[in-house]
Amino acid sequence: MKNTHPQASAQTLAGRITEWLTFDNMHHQWLLLAACFWVIFMFMVASKFITLTFKDPDAYSAKQEFLFLTAMPDAGKLPRQKHFPEELKPTGKVLSDGRLVQPLVYMERLELIRNVCRDEALKNLSHTAVSKFVLDRIFVCDKHKILFCQTPKVGNTQWKKVLIVLNGAFPSIEEIPENVVHDHEKNGLPRLSSFSDAEIQKRLKTYFKFFIVRDPFERLISAFKDKFVHNPRFEPWYRHEIAPGIIRKYRRNRTETRGIQFEDFVRYLGDPNHRWLDLQFGDHIIHWVTYVELCAPCEITYSVIGHHETLEDDAPYILQEAGIAHLVSYPTIPPGITVYNKTKVERYFLGISKRDIRRLYARFEGDFKLFGYQKPDFLLN
């Protein structure tokens, strides 16, 4: 008995040690397993976070831009945002037809005007007095507090129709006779010049003000075609009085018997001494003088500048900003009619001397710079 007891004790002790080691092993394994699960869990969380944050930076950027263009956050939250006066900030609302436009485009147009107006080198080309000639170009809608500066050959007939309806002269654009639109005794459109000085200043400070521009050279081509070639409204004085005056002074080939040519027209407009003929022609020159001379954009703070080339977006945006989109619509724009036609411009200027084209550009440079139109190097060089 004495010999078997130590052996039994040893076996019992070995069993306990084995049991303890097994238990300890399992404990470590459970700890290790738990640690592995914890690491996997943390990795999944981190991975999810990384995916949410960096998965599609372009989409995030696009979403951010969309919010900026529609919500227009405060300037303090956007350190890179350019500063614009409160009175000029567009609302950025969705247009009545459901399309979204980018108010930043219109704000940049206004800022460009302010920058060019401050350029001393362009002062003679960008500034003009707010004279009766300018005030005669601005039509008034007191009922809705709107001022519209007329820039002929840029779709102004349609804007006049919009204002005629707003002023209550006709119930709809379709019912306005064509011969009434430009008859200022019948169309019910008062000019700003018809008010007293105090009333003029009040309207200039408080009313919504806009006008439309297009590429300056393309506008001149349109004016030439409309007044000296086709003349759809039968205005005989352009061919019988104005054209002969231009031909007498500016035609180089005196034996040429054809009617006025575009080259004659260009030479007249580019002449630094054109004003003595302008005085003879009177208000008929509104169809080809500069936007600066018509609307004084450096002296009058306009709310919106529309571009003929983007009129499909600009027209509904202007109506929305003026608060009249629910009252009237801009007439349907035929497809392609507002697109800049470089081929047409090249064709009309073909054969005209570089000297004459450069002189023409020198006169209209202010319009090109103020409204962001590219210098026509393809004609000048």
Model pTM score: 0.74
Q: Are 189 and 251 in contact (CB under 8 A)?
A: no
- What does each C-alpha distance from 250 to 32, 232, 239, 265, 277 come to in angstroms? 99, 26, 15, 8, 11
Closest CA to 301 of 206, 213, 214: 206
Question: pLDDT tens, 332-376?
Answer: 998 889 999 999 999 999 999 999 999 999 999 999 999 999 999
Q: What are the beta bridge partners of residue 149?
A: 138
Residue 281 makes CB contacts below 8 A (sequence gap 6+) with 241, 242, 245
78 against 167, higher pLDDT: 167
Whole-number Å distance between alpha carbons of 209 and 113: 15
Whole-number Å distance between alpha carbons of 176 and 165: 9
14 against 30, higher pLDDT: 30
Whole-number Å distance between alpha carbons of 219 and 367: 11
Given the structure tokens 């030439």, which residue do they identify?
Answer: 224
Residue 29 has pLDDT above 80, yes or no: no
Strands in 138-141's sheet, in edge-to-edge order, are 138-141, 146-149, 208-213, 304-307
186 against 141, higher pLDDT: 141
**Cβ-count burial of 253 within 10 angstroms (0-12 exposed, 13-18 middle, 19+ buried)?**
exposed
**Cβ-count burial of 189 within 10 angstroms (0-12 exposed, 13-18 middle, 19+ buried)?**
buried
Q: Average of pLDDT values for 166-187?
A: 89
DSSP H helices in the chain: 5-54, 57-71, 103-117, 123-126, 132-135, 156-166, 178-181, 197-206, 216-224, 237, 243-250, 262-270, 275-281, 291-295, 311-321, 342-349, 354-370, 377-380
Sign of the Cα torsion 42, 47, 48, 53 reads: positive
Task: Give the N- to C-terminal CA distance of the chain in Å, as an integer.
Answer: 125
Tell me what pLDDT residue 59 has.
31
Tell me what pLDDT residue 136 has.
97
Whole-number Å distance between alpha carbons of 41 and 64: 32
Whole-number Å distance between alpha carbons of 336 and 259: 30
Tell me what pLDDT residue 232 has.
66
Whole-number Å distance between alpha carbons of 219 and 308: 10
Closest CA to 132 of 303, 276, 283, 287: 283
Q: What is the mean pLDDT of the chain?
A: 81
Q: How far is CA 250 from the centre of its chain?
A: 37
Q: In this structure, what DSSP letter does residue 86 have? A: G
Question: pLDDT tens, 227-275?
Answer: 999 876 678 899 889 999 999 999 988 777 889 999 999 999 999 999 9
For residue 5, give the amino acid letter: H
255 against 3, higher pLDDT: 255
Tell me what pLDDT residue 236 has.
87
Q: How far is CA 196 from the centre of its chain?
A: 32
Whole-number Å distance between alpha carbons of 287 and 151: 8
Angle at 274 (CA atoms; ends 268, 280), nearest 5 degrees? 100
Residue 15 makes CB contacts below 8 A (sequence gap 6+) with none
Residue 200 has pLDDT above 70, yes or no: yes
Closest CA to 167 of 315, 301, 324, 320: 324
Question: pLDDT tens, 309-336?
Answer: 999 999 999 999 999 999 999 999 988 8
Q: What is the dihedral of CA 120, 125, 130, 131, to 10 degrees?
A: 140
Q: How far is CA 201 from the centre of its chain?
A: 26
Tell me what pLDDT residue 102 has.
66
- What does each C-alpha distance from 179 to 19, 176, 292 come to in angstroms? 112, 9, 28
For residue 161, give the amino acid letter: K
